[in-house]
Structure 1
Amino acid sequence: MITRLGLHLEDGTLRVTVDGRPLVQDVAGVERRIIDHPDRSLAGDYADLGLHEVPDRDVTAYLATDGAEREVLGCTCGSAGCWPLLVRITVGPREVRWSDVRHGFRDWDYGGFGYTFAADEYLAELDAVDRLLRADPNSTGTRGPW
Structure 2
Amino acid sequence: MDKLRLEIEKREDGSLSNKVVIPFINEKSLIEILKGIELEYDKSLAGAYDGISPAEFIDEFQQREEKVKSRILECECGCDGCWSFVVKITEKDDLIEWSHFEQVHRDNWEYTQIEPFQFERSDYLKEMEKLKA
Give the 3-state SS of the residue equivalent to 1:7 in structure 2: strand
Give the 3-state SS of the residue equivalent to 2:50 in structure 1: coil
Deviation at 1:96, TM superposition (A): 0.8
Give the 3-state SS of the residue equivalent to 1:126 in structure 2: helix
2:25 matches 1:26: no
Give the 3-state SS of the residue equivalent to 1:40 in structure 2: coil
More helix by proportion, 1 or 2? 1
Deviation at 1:88, TM superposition (A): 0.5
Aligned partner (choices 41, 48, 51) of residue 48 of structure 1: 51
**Matches for 1:71-110 after TM superposition, within 5 Å:** 71-107=71-107, 108-110=109-111
2:124 matches 1:122: yes
Gaps of at least 5 residues in structure 1 are 133-146
What letter matches 1:20 in structure 2?
Answer: E
Q: What is the count of residue pairs matched by the alignment?
A: 121
In structure 1, the residue matched to 2:13 is none
Residues 46 and 73, structure 1, Cα contact 8 Å, conserved in 2: yes
Cα gap change, 1:119 to 1:112, in 2 (>3 Å): farther
What letter matches 1:76 in structure 2?
Answer: E
TM-score, normalised relative to structure 1: 0.73
Gaps of at least 5 residues in structure 2 are 11-18
What letter matches 1:63 in structure 2?
Answer: F
After superposition, give the CA deviation of every residue in 1:47-79 in whole Å (9 maximum; x if it has no partner): 122346x1xxx71x4225454411111111101
Q: Relative contact order (alpha carbons < 8 A, sep ≥ 6): 1 or 2 greater?
A: 1
After superposition, give the CA deviation of every residue in 1:14-72 in whole Å (9 maximum; x if it has no partner): 12111221110111112224x2xxx23211111122346x1xxx71x422545441111
Task: Quote the Cα distance in structure 2 between the aligned partners of 1:30 and 1:15.
Answer: 18
Task: Quote the Cα distance in structure 2 between the aligned partners of 1:84 and 1:66.
Answer: 16
> How much identity, in percent, do the aligned residues show?
26
In structure 2, the residue matched to 1:139 is none
Task: Quote the Cα distance in structure 1 between the aligned partners of 2:26 and 2:52.
Answer: 18
Residues 97 and 115, structure 1, Cα contact 8 Å, conserved in 2: yes
